[in-house]
Structure 1
Amino acid sequence: MVDLLSLTGRVALVTGGGRHIGRGVACTLAAAGAAVVVNDVVGERAEQVAAEITAAGGTAIGLACDVTDPAAVTALVERAQRALGPVDVLVNNAGNAGAERGYAADPPPFWETGPDEWRSWFDVNLFGVMNASRAVLPAMVERRSGRVITIVSDAGRVGEPFLVPYSAAKAGAAGFVRALAKAVGRYDITVNAVSLGTVRDAAPDDEAIARQLRRYVIRRFGTPDDVAAMVLFLASGAASWITGQTMPVNGGYSMAL
C-alpha cells in the first residue's frame, strides 16, 4: 500500500522550529522523509534541531531569521532553495504568546496596553505568517503544487480576555488562511490552519492543572507530537483535497465551552 503520509522528496520549511511545537513538527516531517529547513529567530536553536534530525538519519539545515522582517524572510527562502531545493511545505509556526512575554501569571488588561504593544503581537502572529507565505508562493505557483500550514490558537476562535491582542492576531491569521486558500487553490496549493488548545512540555502545579483542565473534554494538555501529527497529515498526499480549513487540535476545548 502506498504510504500516503510519506514526504520523501519534499522540502519543508518550519518557522519557529527551534523548540517546543516547532521542534516536534520539524522532527516529525523529517521522519516522514522531508528535507527540513529549521528556522528560528535564535540561530543556535535552529542549528541544534537540525543536528538532531541529521543525527537520526534525516536531512535538515538550521537557518536564523526573524519572520517580522520581510526582506530577511525572502532571503531565508532563497537560502533554503539553494541548499535543499524549492519549498514544498511551509509551516508557519513562529509566534509569541503570554508565556513568552511574561504575562502568564499576571497579564495586564487590554485598556492598560497600547499600539506599540499590540504591534508586537501582530508583527509575529499575523504579519510573520504573511511574510513567509508570500516568500514561498511564487515558486509554488510556478510548480502548481504546495502546502501552507499555519499554527493558530483557540484564543482566536473563542477569545481570551487577558490576551486580547494575541486573540485578535491569531483570528486574523485564520482569516488570512481562508482567503489565501481561495486565491491559490487554482494552482493546486492547499492552505490550512491548525488551531491549538494548551500545549505544554511540562505541567504546572496541581491546582492550575485542575482549574485549566476543566475546560477540556480530554483531560490532559496537548503535546508537540499531537500538533505534529495533524501538520504531517495536512502536508501529505492524504490531505490533497482539504483547503481553507481550521483544524482543531485541542482536546475538545472549543466544544467544551
Structure 2
Amino acid sequence: MELDLKGKNVLITGGSKGIGRGIALAAAGEGANIALHYLSSEEEAVHTAEQINRVYGVNVQLVKGDLANIEDVIRIKKELDQGLGDINGIVNNAGLGQMKSFFQYQPDEWKREVDVCFYGVLNLVHTFMPQMMEKKQGKFINIVGDSARTGDKHFILSAAARSGANGFIKSLAQDVGKNNVQCNTVALGLVDSGSLQFNDATLEKIAKQYPLKRIGKVDDVTGMILFLLSNQADWITGQVFSVNGGHSMLG
C-alpha cells in the first residue's frame, strides 16, 4: 500500500517517548518530515530526534510548549513555519490523566486535565487548521483513551474532557470537509509504552479482560495512524477508531 508520506510535514505532539515516539519513528520511516513536540521530556525528545535523523535522514524539528496555552501553540507554529514549512498532518498524542476517583480530586485539580485534553485540541486546530483549509489538504488525528467512549471511573476527568474532544472533532470534520481536510480520532485500550506502573500479576489480570488476551504494544497503534495520515484515508473523516484488542466493541 502506497502511503504517500514522503516529504510531508507531520506534527506529533507528546512525541518524545512512548506512543508518540513510536508514531514519530514510523512516520519518519515512511519518509515524512517530523515536527516533534514535547513539554517537559527534553532529554527524551532530543534522543528521539537524533534517532530519526540518523536512521531515516528526514528533516526533524523539536518544538517545546504547553498546548493548553494558546500563546505557546501560536509560537510553535511560527517556529515550524520558519523551519519545516507548512504542516500537512497533525497527530495529537499529548494528554493528561490522573488515575483516581473523582472524589479524591480537589477542585483546583480539575482544570489542568480539561485544559490539556480538551482546550489543547482546540488550540491546535484554531492555530494550524486555517492553513490546511487554505491549501485544501490536511489531516488531523486526535488520540484518546478508550475511556472517552466507554467511561472509566479511574480516569473520570480525562475521559470527560476527551469525550468532549471527540464531539468537537466530529463537528469539525463536518465543517472542514469542503476544504478537503480530514479529522479523525483514534481511541486506545491499554498500551504498554514502557511507563506502566503495574506489576506482572496485575498486568496478567488486565490482559485476561481482552479478547486477544494481551495488552497493546506501540506497534499495534502506529499502523492505524500511518493509514489515517496517508492518501488512502482521503474519504474517511469524522470517525472514532478503536485500537483496543477488543476490550470494548461499541457500534
Query: For the superposition of Structure 1 and Structure 2, which TM-score range results when normalised by the shorter chain?
Result: over 0.9
> Counterpart in 2 of 1:172?
164
2:48 counterpart letter in structure 1: V
1:199 counterpart letter in structure 2: V
How many pairs align?
246
Is the aligned partner of 1:94 residue 2:94? Answer: yes
CA contact 2:45–2:62 (8 Å) conserved in 1: yes
CA contact 2:144–2:188 (8 Å) conserved in 1: yes
Cα deviation digits, residues 126-160 of structure 1 (max 9, x gap): 11111112111111011011000000111111111
> Counterpart in 2 of 1:193?
185
Aligned counterparts of 1:9 and 1:20: Cα–Cα separation in 2: 24
Is the aligned partner of 1:144 residue 2:136? Answer: yes
Moved beyond 6 Å, runs of 4+: none
SS at match of 1:12: strand
CA contact 1:12–1:89 (8 Å) conserved in 2: yes
1:40 counterpart letter in structure 2: Y
SS at match of 2:216: coil
Q: Which structure 2 residue ranges, 5 or more long, are not aligned?
A: none
Q: Which moves more between the two structures, 215-224 or 7-16? A: 215-224
**Superposition deviation, residue 96 in structure 1:** 1.3
> Counterpart in 2 of 1:63?
63
> Counterpart in 1 of 2:155?
163
Aligned pair partner of 2:211 in 187, 211, 217: 217
Aligned pair partner of 1:13 in 11, 19, 23: 11
CA contact 2:19–2:193 (8 Å) conserved in 1: no
CA contact 1:196–1:250 (8 Å) conserved in 2: yes
Aligned counterparts of 2:110 and 2:209: Cα–Cα separation in 1: 27
Alignment of 1:11-50 (within 5 A): 11-42=9-40, 43-50=42-49
> Counterpart in 1 of 2:174?
182
SS at match of 2:192: coil
CA contact 1:13–1:39 (8 Å) conserved in 2: yes
Q: Which structure 1 residue ranges, 5 or more long, are not aligned?
A: none
1:49 counterpart letter in structure 2: T
TM-score in terms of structure 2 length: 0.93
Aligned counterparts of 1:71 and 1:205: Cα–Cα separation in 2: 40
CA contact 2:142–2:185 (8 Å) conserved in 1: yes
SS at match of 1:255: coil
Identical amino acids, percent of aligned pairs: 36
Aligned counterparts of 1:48 and 1:133: Cα–Cα separation in 2: 28
> Counterpart in 2 of 1:4?
2
Cα deviation digits, residues 184-213 of structure 1 (max 9, x gap): 000000000000000113474332023211
1:160 counterpart letter in structure 2: D
Aligned counterparts of 1:44 and 1:75: Cα–Cα separation in 2: 21
TM-score in terms of structure 1 length: 0.91
Alignment of 1:83-122 (within 5 A): 83-98=83-98, 103=99, 107=100, 109-122=101-114
Cα deviation digits, residues 49-87 of structure 1 (max 9, x gap): 111100112221111111111011011012112111100
2:124 counterpart letter in structure 1: A
